[in-house]
Structure 1
Amino acid sequence: MELKTATLANIEEILALHYRYQVDSISEDDKADGFITTAFTKEHLTNLIQHENGLFTASVDNKIVAYAMAASWDYWSQWPMFEFMIKHLDDSTCLGQSITKDNSYQYGPVCVDKSVRGQGVFEKIFNYSLSEMSKRYPIMVTFINKINPRSYEAHTRKTPLTVIKHFEFNNNHYYKLACKTAE
């Protein structure tokens, strides 16, 4: 498996993987195994790659089988959900440290193709993303919709993330999770 930071040449393949697991286009049979709520365009991913250096991929036999996104709060502020999160960053702490727009970043979504699930790909892409982002931020923050138990289980059992708050946005209920990016 090859882990790397995505380039513009990877966008179409990442979007195809994303579309298969995005809540608006995922098959009903696959939804129980996890889904992604935010829709992304080629322009979103171009900006994420060029300005944030925050799109990471896992490939097997030169085929992208997973990605993880991570970026500053400025990048994410274009979506109402993240604007809400920015306004409430200071309502919780991470291992006793205050969370701010400057000392934290938003991780996710992460997507692993079902053909490689259960093979450690999730843990590898998560840790690669965490390692790369630790060069810029001491705290990772993310959220998981409570109707997505597979994502919750993966992130709370296989990563250092812990739930630091529960919140509601747009009639949905979420876990807010965080971790330090380095020991």
Structure 2
Amino acid sequence: MTKFIDIKIATIQDLDGIIELQKANQTSQGGTLSGQLTADQIQEMMIDMPQIIAVADNEIVGFLLTTSQTVNNKRKVPIVDAMSASYSGSDDSYIYGPICVSQNQRGKGLAQLMFQKLLRLEPNREGILFIKSDNEASLKAHEKMGMNKVSRFTFNDANFDVFAYLFPS
């Protein structure tokens, strides 16, 4: 039986669910997330830009986090700085990601649905992201969404591809 999945803007009440899903998908747990954001960082991001979540049966089963360049520049995140050095984007660009879908919900198009919601909320703005070059599933999913590879960088002996997108409303 297919569950109804609600795609919506996250609120502070969703913070624990986002943190839980993030922890479950760290590389140390067999996942593919390259970093871990603190609750304070995610809360700051919520104030700054819309954070998109997918909810099924009152459980967060996906998230798409975003950060403006203004908030990003307040803190130093070495991997994001490496991405920005390889491709800086436009003045009003924002950082897309991380994006995460729970293992039992993958392959159902949730990443695409969260991305479409984000595009409706942030039209005509360039989004920039990075994906580990060996993460074939993520690379294919983002190419399918219409994003373009614009650069590449190496960080901690790993290769990353930089993607960007700008879709008019």
| 1:68 counterpart = 2:64 | yes
Question: Could you tell me which residue of structure 2 aligns to residue 14 of structure 1?
Answer: 18
Equivalent residue letter for 2:38: T
How far did 1:121 drift? 1.2
* Unpaired stretches in structure 2, ≥5 consecutive residues: none
Query: Could you say what secondary structure the match of 1:150 adopts?
Result: helix
Q: Distance in 2 between matches of 1:182 and 1:133?
A: 10
Query: Could you say what secondary structure the match of 2:27 adopts?
Result: coil
Q: Distance in 2 between matches of 1:16 and 1:164?
A: 32
Match for residue 124 of structure 1 among 100, 113, 119: 113
What is the number of equivalent residue pairs in this alignment? Answer: 163
Question: Could you tell me which residue of structure 2 aligns to residue 167 of structure 1?
Answer: 153
**What's the CA shift string for 1:23-73, capped at 9, x where partnerless?**
23x23xxx4xxx1111111111111112x1331101112221100011112
**What's the CA shift string for 1:126-168, capped at 9, x where partnerless?**
211222222xx521111111122221121112x0101112222
* Unpaired stretches in structure 1, ≥5 consecutive residues: 91-98
The aligned runs of 1:1-183 (5 Å cut-off) are: 1-24=5-28, 26-27=29-30, 31=31, 35-50=32-47, 52-77=48-73, 78=75, 79-90=77-88, 99-100=89-90, 102-134=91-123, 138-157=125-144, 159-182=145-168
Equivalent residue letter for 1:46: Q
Task: Tell me if the contact between 1:21 and 1:36 (Cα under 8 Å) persists in the aligned partners.
Answer: yes
TM-score, structure 2 as length reference = 0.87
Query: Could you say what secondary structure the match of 2:115 adopts?
Result: helix
Query: Could you say what secondary structure the match of 1:3 adopts?
Result: strand
How far did 1:115 drift? 1.4
Equivalent residue letter for 2:134: I
How far did 1:123 drift? 1.0
**What's the CA shift string for 1:76-114, capped at 9, x where partnerless?**
342112223333435xxxxxxxx32x2311101100011
Percent identity over paired residues: 23
Equivalent residue letter for 1:69: L
RMSD after superposition = 1.7
Greater displacement, 80-89 / 140-149: 80-89
